[in-house]
Structure formats: structure tokens, C-alpha cells
Amino acid sequence: MQINTLLATNTQLTNGTANGAKESNTDSLFASFNSDFKSEITDAMRRGAGNDFVLKLSENRQRFVELAMMAQQQEPVDSKKFLKSLSFEDRQVLQKVHSLGTSITDSTIDRMSGEGADNLLLVPGKGLDANNDAITETGTAKSFKFPNSNTPADVAAAWNKSLQGSSPEDRLMATASMMTMMFSANIRVDDTGNFLGVNEPGSANYVNPMADPNFSYKDWAKGQLEYNEAFKQKIPANVYERDVQFLTSFLLNLNSGTA
């Protein structure tokens, strides 16, 4: 859900109909935030999250949704300004909901990107990778997630279906395979192949292969299967079987010709 969507719509309404439409949009948005938050709690339980984590989300749900709604009602929306207006207690609500290790102070808000500030006011798991660098920023924290907000819907569905019933560890390893692809695409070497370093997100030469319109998830999966076959003798049998089973399922579930 984009931070600016509803406000952009509201500005196009005439004064005579704006109030009614705004109330309708507000009710719809409130219901959406609540639904998304409850889904996140359910998903956390499915992932095997501890009781303390689930309880923390549940205890802070109502106030978080209220804060997210307040942020939406700014005209214009300015997430950093809104965050700075919050009390210490409300900042703690955001910190707890997003499991941030760093307190939300004015100085940390100043260091946040627009993406990081916006995502603090979105339900966990719904953060947007606004600049399409494959890194989702929440506050000053940065994380690699797959699927993320830019993953084609059919690819995300195929990925999630292929991981149904998988353990949290297997899900993590599947995501790690995509992260390895990102890392490999940004390795720098000299003319003789010596390692020089890695291009970091935000640097001039950093690339996100998945942002390339010609990137194919099917080709990626096929390449991973070929790699596993080529190095089968060097890969532990249980790891080989796990990866081949997932990748084969992922390929079968990809039903879009452009995926």
C-alpha cells in the first residue's frame, strides 16, 4: 500500500463529496491496516516466531494502526516530519512493532531515507522497496527480502507455493540463494580475476539484476539446478535434495511466460 495513494485521490474530489469519500476511504484503510497486521501476526506464528514476539505485535497493534492512520491523514504526507512529532512512547510502539535495535530519535530520523521513514508507518512485511535496489529499508535498518514489493505477483505466488510446509530454516536458505545471486552480481575483480570488493547498495556501480526487464526467474532457477547437478558430489546429499526439490517445484509453479 503506497503512502500517498489515498491522499492523492482525495485531492481530486470536490468539496461537496470529499468528506463522504474521505470517511469511506478512512474506514477502508483502517480495515486494511488491521487485516494486514493480523495477517502478519498469523504469518509470524507460522514461521515459528516465539510467544514473546507474537505478544509484542499483539499488544502494540491498536496503537500502531492509529499512528499509521494519522500519518496517512497528513496533507501532504511527510513521514519524517510525522515521526519527529511523535512522543517517546509512540516511537517505542514503532520500534517494537518493527523489532528495531536502534531507538527512534530525531538524529536517527535525520539519517533515514524517505523509504526508511515511510516503511516505519507500514505494517511489517508490507514495506516498499521504493528505489528497487532489492533492499527494503525500515527506519535506518536495511534487509534483503524475497519476495519483496517489486517481485511480480506470479513469481511471488510460485515461490510461496513452493515453500508451503517448509521449515523456517528451509525458507531462509531459499531466500539466501537469491541473496547470493545479488552478491555475485556486485563482486568487483581486476583484469586477472583478483577480488577487489563488493559494490554496496547506493554506490554508483551497484546493480539489482532483478530490476532488469530481461531478467528471467525461470532462467535463474534452471541455472541453479544446473549448478547443483554440476557440483552434486561436493554438496551434502540432504542439501542437494532440498534445493533440487524446491527449485523444481518453483519452476513448475511459474506459469507466466515473462517470469
Q: How confident is the model at residue 175 (pLDDT cuts 50, 70, 90)?
A: very high
- Residue 227 corresponds to which amino acid? Y
- Residue 142 φ then ψ, to 5°: -125, 135
**Range 55-67 burial, b when 16+ CB lie within 10 A, else e:** ebbeebbebbbeb
User: If you average pLDDT over each of 14-18, 75-79, 131-135, which comes out highest?
Assistant: 131-135
CA max distance for the chain = 72
- Residue 201 corresponds to which amino acid? P
* pLDDT for the residue numbered 259: 59
**Range 111-143 burial, b when 16+ CB lie within 10 A, else e:** ebbebbbbbbbbbbebbbbbbebbbbbbbbbee
Q: C-alpha grid cell for residue 157? A: 505466488
pTM of the model: 0.81
138-155 pLDDT, tens digit each? 999 999 999 999 999 999
Task: Using DSSP bridges, classify how beta strands 141-144 and 135-138 pair: parallel, antiparallel or unpaired.
Answer: antiparallel
Q: Where in the chain are the domains?
A: 5-144, 153-253
17-52 pLDDT, tens digit each? 445 555 667 788 788 888 888 888 888 887 777 888
Q: Which of 18-27, 66-75, 166-175, 186-195 has the lowest mean pLDDT?
A: 18-27
